[in-house]
Amino acid sequence: MLKTSLEQKLTQKLAPQQIQMIKLLELNTLQIEERIKNEIEENPALDDGGDGDYDNEDNIVENDSDVLTHEEEREDDNQDSEDEYTREDDYSVDDDDYGENDDDVIPNYRLEVNNTSKDDERTEIPYSAAKSFNEHLFEQFILKDVTERQKFIAPFLVGNIDEDGYLRRDLDAVADDIAFSQNVEVSLQELEDVLKVIQELDPAGIGARNLQECLLIQLRRKEEQTDGVKVAIMVLSDCFEEFTKKHYEKIMQKCNITEHDLRSAIDVIVKLNPKPGNSYGEPQRANIHAIIPDFIVEIEGDDISVSLNNRNSPELRISRSFSRMMDEYSSGKGKNREVATFVKQKIDNAKWFIDAIEQRRRTLLFTMEAIVDFQRKFFLTGDEANIRPMILKDIAEMTNLDISTVSRVANSKYVSTPYGNFLLKFFFSEAMQTDSGEEVSTREVKQILKECIGAEDSTKPLTDDRLSEILKERGYIIARRTIAKYREQLGIPVARLRRKI
């Protein structure tokens, strides 16, 4: 049985403009430049103001003011006709003036330019086509005493060596690749034999399947097999796991060596290259990114000014030609009405985008000014000890913005100061109380931890319990597990892994 009823319901939905604003707020300087560029390419109604063909939202061009009058158009048409007639008369020629072969009209020597004399020194700047790392390895391989079948197999192994110089694929998978792509059966023993030849290539350690094998290859290829090298080979061969965990007592007991022997072996091992592939050619720069600050803070005396880094961000306007087009087609019917609807939609989207960019700019500046005001002492001195405890809620209350909005502003954005570039999240930290009741930033506690660990005896590093006692002596009551959390956030290993002999 069907039943109809009326029901009142109150729901809250974000408007498309709000969603667009939220997405723009999260973008940093480079991302917003790319976003603006894409929007200009997708929306012809949006103009960067470069050619002057624009109009503001509150000043849409009217037909009677910007469109040429009929008399002006008629005069322009007549002038264009006269110019066209003149151009045709000036360039009208007879076919008899040209020979049968047009290429002979202009000799080749007239098309060449040589502004140098015989006495001038001519130097050509050569350019080199860089070889890939795999090509470099294969060129070394074919110079070895190998068979034609091994030369056939080698590219499949060399091609699977990554940029660090490791072969991290199983030989079974490589054999399957050769079988599927070349329809050739290759045994694991053949692959092992070819891999041994590859591991003899330069740089030393190439073709290793793990760190242990990489280091051992480098040690065994050393010309001088000193006592330290021999002990290092024994330690890495028999006690590699203990060595990674720095269980030195177990290593000395298992290998029956003295502390002096172990120290000599460690001195040899630390000089090895754990990533031999990076030693070929120029260093990898794929992961190096220049920091482009989103805010610029300038200080003059006690005055602090905050500005946005607009860089290549253009001043967006509404295209004048599109505004004119909307006026022309809005009075029509049928197809003209459809075109007018399309044009109006593009203009509305452009206005929304311009408003969102402007609102983003105001929100970013407003929030950054609040952060600078809250951390004013740090921006005037540059001393990290002057950073006050600050959370997102503090800035949200100062700006009357939502906490999520402040979080989006602080996400992945940098500020340029006279003391360097800082991530905005650098200024946010939790608060803790000292034994005197004073609130201090956790960043100050982390700085004390770094100083204590930096000054410790490397043979007897400070444990988390001892660090907790030191902080209590300075008035910071912190539990051991909190010390461990701060230490991990600083990227500092446990005391056992910091130990040196």
Residue 428 has pLDDT above 50, yes or no: yes
Share of the chain above pLDDT 90, in %: 18
pLDDT at 111: 53
- In tens, the pLDDT along 44-99 reads 888 876 544 444 444 433 333 343 344 444 444 444 444 444 444 443 444 444 44
pTM of this structure: 0.57
Which has the closest alpha carbon to 364: 24, 40, 30? Answer: 24
pLDDT at 332: 55
Which residues are CB-contacts of 501 (< 8 A; sequence separation ≥ 6)? 248, 259, 262, 263, 266, 459
Helix (H) or strand (E) holding 45: none
Cα dihedral value 401, 402, 404, 407, nearest 10: 30
Q: 109 versus 168: which is more confidently predicted? A: 168
Token pair of 113 as six digits: 């330019």
Token pair of 472 as six digits: 């209590």
Is residue 54 a contact partner of residue 319, using CB atoms and an 8 Å limit? yes
Burial (Cβ within 10 Å: 0-12, 13-18, ≥19) of residue 212? middle
pLDDT at 140: 87
Helix (H) or strand (E) holding 417: strand 414-417
User: Could you identify the residue written with the tokens 């790392």?
Assistant: 133
What is the DSSP annotation of 337-366? HHHHHHHHHHHHHHHHHHHHHHHHHHHHHH
Count CA atoms closer than 13 A to 182's CA, side-chain side. Answer: 13
Which range has the top average pLDDT, 233-237, 444-448, 494-498?
A: 233-237
Is residue 150 a contact partner of residue 187, using CB atoms and an 8 Å limit? no
Type of residue found at 358: E
- pLDDT bucket at 139, cuts 50 / 70 / 90: confident
pLDDT at 115: 55
CA 265 to chain centre: 39
- In tens, the pLDDT along 150-186 reads 889 989 998 888 888 899 989 999 999 999 988 889 8
Burial 213-249 (b: 16+ CB within 10 A, else e): bbbbbbbeeeeeeeebbebbbbbbeebbebbeebbbe
CA distance 495 to 501: 13
Phi-psi region of 306 (alpha: psi -120 to 50; beta: other; left: phi over 0): beta
